[in-house]
Structure formats: structure tokens, C-alpha cells
């Protein structure tokens, strides 16, 4: 018998429950990836992620070839393509990972109905995209609560969940003849990719995870916020595309143990946390999770300032450095994400959705759950228990880039300024200031803070 395994955000062979289940029940499988028109229509198919995805698909295809099979790639409406592939392969059922976003859940429902009409089964597997499935831990005692709105109690409960031991990659895969496939897309066919975009694929992801857990994770607790040190795992694109399994990453990090690994596992828990919020409140992708009565400035109202923010020309060196890192690498340090988002949403008081969209246009790890809900967290409309805190970019810079190296790396116009002086070029004597081709601040921090406090009724 034959089954189709539909790959979505789980582009790997290790620790893959749908693949293992399909292989246990059937002698042939069709490993299928659909370049889903719906994702492109929703504006999510942007160059950086398309290029990384191409690497992932090429690597998945290689891994399947090494086991006697190959990847089947199709384009179009995901439901129509899955049904057509199932027909071509004479498959009895389809296996896939449970999705989290509203889009993914609708996709599952549509697939279930369409396959059911053809007498075929759909098996949807939990804990493939997240370590702990959304909904597996819910608050006890609060009547009707379907998710945790606050991280700390969630993390406490999450830590008590037992995870499966990581599943082995299959030894061999037999794909039936007669299933049409397109060429696996190539990374170099994608235009407009960030110059220093990371490589995708399961092999690269596993090498990075192994190297990370062998050493650097030990220093994570102390160094994760050091902008210049770049001492985080950079596993986020692999977790986003599922070239690494979150459950396996947690399992392996726990085996390493120690304060660094514990702090790192806590961050992966943040990922599950945001996924369980989105699963319970799919509308939070576009709407305030909590309404704070904001009347945000729109992009039209704050046009030049938004453009300066996007281009890394706000006149606040640490903000500009982080925004330029985003454009150059398709990735930004978490501390950079926090302070640039706070600058847009609170200091400029621009609608968080404007910033979230720009991040999604460029981030290789751009993810509805993590991006939209972190933006809401920073904007104070989400799950932060201190929704009115505003990050001062100068204080952030002095604390997390005390030597100024991060700024000098990304803002070469200021490379001649030594030490922390690079964070406040406006303090230079006028004649020296004039030698630096770098803008004046687009807004005074005090004015930004006053506007925000007024808007929130705190003034």
C-alpha cells in the first residue's frame, strides 16, 4: 500500500512522526512538497525565505535519494495537488504535521474534507512543528481558559511535559512510479536575496545544532544579549522551516544541561508559548491581542520616519545597525529586534503591523506566530505583563553594545568613532560632527515618549 507524506514546516528526515507513521503502515510513500499558491497570494513567499526553502528542498531530496527515494514537488492549490498526487500514486491515506496558524488549520480542514470525499484518510500528527503541541498545557482553575496568556506559568507547566525521544531518520524509502514531479527549485533562481543569507537544509541545520550544543550553548545565559558577540544559536530559520525538530533540540539541550542550556531551552519554550497563543487566537496575526485603545500613526502619517527606520537612517546608531543587519543577512539579533520594534511602535508610535510586515518581508525565520506575537509583545498589545515599558535606544546600546563594535560593524559611516561615543554622535563638537555623513535623530526621545504616554493615557 501507499501513503502520501505532505511536508510543510517540517522539512527533515530526522524526528519526523508523520514520515515514521506512514513508513510503519505502508511499503511505499510519496514524500510531497507543494509550492502552495495560497502562501504566495498571502505575501509570505518572499525572496529570503524562498531561497532558504530552495536549499531545504534540495537537501531533503538528497536525503531521500540516499535512501532510495526522491522528493515530489508540485505547485498550485495545496488541496488539489495533494488529491491529485494521491490519485496518481493510488494512495490510501495522507500524513502531515498539525499546523498552528489560521491558514494551516484551514488547510487541514479543507484537506480532510476533500480526501474524505474520495474515501481517503488524513492523519494529522502533533508535536512536529512545536516541542509541546498547542493546547497540551492549559491553565487549571481558570474556567474556560484555552491557552496561557502569561509566559512564566506557561513555562513552568511546559517544563513538566514529557517529550518523545527523537525518532531516527528512516533507512530506506520507496517511492511508487508514475507520480509527476517538478524540478526541485534552485536557490540561485531567486532574485533579491540578502547578500549574507544563511544556507538552509537539514544537514546544515544539524551541523549547526551539534556545534552549538558541543560548546557555545554553555555561555548562552551570560552572553545571549551581547549584540557584538553574536552568541546566540542562529537556529531560528531551521526551527521555522522544520529542518530541525524543536522537540529534538530541547531533548538534546537538556542532555547537555547547565545554566546555558537551561536558558536556551527557555527561549525555545517562548517559541511554543507564542504558537499556543496563535493557535487559540488566530486573529492575533493581524489584530491586537489586547486592545489598549491605541490610535497608531499609519504609514501614510509617518511616511518619512518609517522609511528612515526601514533604511537604517534614523540617526540612532544602534537602531540603524540592527535594521541594516536585517537587510544584509535576512536575520537580526533578538536584542536588535526588541529595540527596533520598540522604536517604531513606541518612540515613533507607528502601528506595529507596519513593522511586522517589514520584518516578514526580510526575515529568513519570519514566522506568523513568533513575529506577530513578539511585535505585539513589544507594542504592549500582546502578552507582556509591562505593556507600557519603552526601550530607550541609547541606554540599550550602552548596555548591550558597550564597546560600540556592533554599531561600527553595521554603520561604517561612524567607524571612526571609538568606544561608546559611537552611540551618541550628536554629542560631538559641531565641527567634528560635520565630518560624519550620518543623519541627525529623526525624533527626540523625550518627544516620542511624551506622545506615547499621552496616547496611552499615562501622561
Interface residues with ligand FAD (CB under 6 A) are 224, 232-236, 239-240, 264, 267-268, 270-271, 274, 334, 337-338, 341, 359, 363, 365-367, 370-371, 374-375, 378
Taking the complex as a whole, the smallest distance from the CB of residue 231 to ligand FAD amounts, in Å, to 9
Q: How far apart are CA 2 and CA 16, in angstroms?
A: 18
Q: How far apart are CA 119 and CA 135, in angstroms?
A: 29
Decide: 429 and 423 in contact? Cβ < 8 Å: no
Per the rule left: phi > 0, alpha: psi between -120 and 50, beta: everything else, 429 is beta
Decide: helix, strand or coil at residue 279.
Answer: helix
Q: How far apart are CA 346 and CA 203, in angstroms?
A: 40
Q: Name the DSSP class of 112.
A: H
Q: Which is nearer to ligand FAD, 83 or 363 (CB)?
A: 363
Decide: 188 and 231 in contact? Cβ < 8 Å: no
Decide: 30 and 72 in contact? Cβ < 8 Å: yes
Contacts of 166 by beta carbon, 8 Å cutoff, 6+ apart: 14, 15, 245, 247, 248, 251, 252
Q: Which is nearer to ligand FAD, 61 or 365 (CB)?
A: 365
Residue 97: what are its φ and ψ, rounded to 5°? -80, 145
Q: Which is nearer to ligand FAD, 267 or 405 (CB)?
A: 267
Taking the complex as a whole, the smallest distance from the CB of residue 363 to ligand FAD amounts, in Å, to 5
Taking the complex as a whole, the smallest distance from the CB of residue 29 to ligand FAD amounts, in Å, to 29
* Closest by CA position to 274, among listed 300, 227, 239: 239
Taking the complex as a whole, the smallest distance from the CB of residue 234 to ligand FAD amounts, in Å, to 4
Taking the complex as a whole, the smallest distance from the CB of residue 358 to ligand FAD amounts, in Å, to 10
Taking the complex as a whole, the smallest distance from the CB of residue 342 to ligand FAD amounts, in Å, to 9
Q: Which is nearer to ligand FAD, 2 or 276 (CB)?
A: 276
Taking the complex as a whole, the smallest distance from the CB of residue 100 to ligand FAD amounts, in Å, to 13
Q: Which is nearer to ligand FAD, 173 or 279 (CB)?
A: 279
Taking the complex as a whole, the smallest distance from the CB of residue 13 to ligand FAD amounts, in Å, to 20
* Closest by CA position to 319, among listed 342, 299, 296: 342
Q: Which is nearer to ligand FAD, 2 or 48 (CB)?
A: 48
Taking the complex as a whole, the smallest distance from the CB of residue 337 to ligand FAD amounts, in Å, to 4
CA torsion sign, 181 to 183 to 187 to 191?
negative
**Class of residue 177 by CB neighbours under 10 A (exposed 0-12, middle 13-18, buried 19+):** exposed
**C-alpha to C-alpha distances, 212 to 166, 220, 231, 299, nearest whole angstrom:** 18, 10, 10, 40
Q: Which is nearer to ligand FAD, 2 or 325 (CB)?
A: 325
Residues in the chain: 459
Q: Which is nearer to ligand FAD, 204 or 370 (CB)?
A: 370
Q: Which is nearer to ligand FAD, 75 or 267 (CB)?
A: 267
Amino acid at each position: 500500500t501507499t501513503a502520501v507524506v505532505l511536508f510543510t514546516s517540517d522539512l527533515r528526515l530526522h524526528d519526523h512522526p508523520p514520515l515514521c507513521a506512514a513508513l510503519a503502515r505502508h511499503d511505499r510513500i510519496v514524500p510531497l512538497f507543494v509550492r502552495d499558491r495560497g502562501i504566495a497570494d498571502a505575501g509570505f513567499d518572499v525572496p529570503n525565505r524562498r531561497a532558504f526553502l530552495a536549499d531545504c528542498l534540495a537537501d531533503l531530496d538528497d536525503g531521500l535519494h540516499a535512501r532510495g527515494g526522491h522528493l515530489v514537488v508540485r505547485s498550485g492549490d495545496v488541496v488539489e495537488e495533494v488529491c491529485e498526487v494521491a490519485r496518481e500514486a493510488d494512495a490510501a491515506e495522507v500524513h502531515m504535521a498539525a499546523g498552528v496558524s489560521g491558514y494551516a488549520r484551514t488547510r487541514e480542514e479543507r484537506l480532510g474534507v476533500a480526501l474524505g470525499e474520495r474515501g481517503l484518510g488524513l492523519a494529522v500528527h502533533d508535536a512536529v512543528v512545536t516541542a509541546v503541541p498547542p493546547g497540551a498545557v492549559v491553565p487549571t482553575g481558570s474556567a474556560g481558559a484555552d491557552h496561557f496568556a502569561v509566559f512564566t506559568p506557561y513555562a513552568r507547566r511546559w517544563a513538566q511535559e514529557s517529550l518523545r525521544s527523537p525518532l531516527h531518520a528512516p533507512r530506506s524509502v520507496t517511492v511508487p512510479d508514475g507520480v509527476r514531479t517538478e524540478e526541485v527549485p534552485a536557490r540561485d533562481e531567486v532574485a533579491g536575496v540578502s547578500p549574507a543569507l544563511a544556507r538552509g537544509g537539514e544537514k546544515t541545520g544539524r551541523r549547526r545544532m551539534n556545534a552549538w550544543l558541543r560548546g557555545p550553548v554553555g555561555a548562552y545565559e551570560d552572553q545571549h544579549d551581547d549584540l557584538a558577540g553574536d552568541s546566540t544559536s542562529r537556529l531560528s530559520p531551521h526551527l521555522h522551516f522544520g529542518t530541525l525538530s524543536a522537540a529534538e533540540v530541547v531533548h538534546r539541550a537538556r542532555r547537555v544541561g547547565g545554566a546555558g542550556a537551561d536558558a536556551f531551552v527557555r527561549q525555545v519554550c517562548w517559541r511554543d508559548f507564542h504558537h499556543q497563543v496563535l493557535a487559540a487566537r488566530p486573529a492575533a496575526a493581524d489584530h491586537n491581542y489586547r486592545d489598549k485603545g491605541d490610535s497608531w500613526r499609519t504609514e501614510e502619517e509617518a511616511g518619512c520616519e518609517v522609511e528612515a527606520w526601514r533604511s537604517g537612517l534614523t540617526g540612532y546608531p544602534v537602531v540603524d545597525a540592527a535594521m541594516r543587519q536585517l537587510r544584509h543577512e535576512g536575520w537580526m539579533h533578538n536584542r536588535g529586534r526588541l529595540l527596533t520594534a520598540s522604536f517604531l511602535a513606541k518612540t515613533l508610535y507607528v502601528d506595529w503591523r507596519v513593522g511586522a510586515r517589514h520584518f516578514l518581508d526580510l526575515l529568513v525565520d519570519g514566522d506568523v506566530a513568533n513575529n506577530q506575537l513578539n511585535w505585539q509583545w513589544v507594542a504592549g498589545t500582546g502578552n507582556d505583563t509591562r505593556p507600557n515599558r519603552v526601550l530607550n535606544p541609547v541606554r540599550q546600546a550602552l548596555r548591550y553594545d558597550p564597546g560600540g563594535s556592533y554599531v561600527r560593524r553595521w554603520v561604517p559611516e561612524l567607524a571612526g568613532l571609538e568606544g561608546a561615543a559611537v552611540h551618541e554622535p550628536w554629542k560631538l563638537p559641531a565641527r567634528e560632527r560635520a565630518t560624519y555623513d550620518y543623519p541627525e535623530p529623526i525624533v527626540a526621545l523625550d518627544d516620542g515618549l511624551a506622545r506615547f504616554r499621552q496616547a496611552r493615557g499615562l501622561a
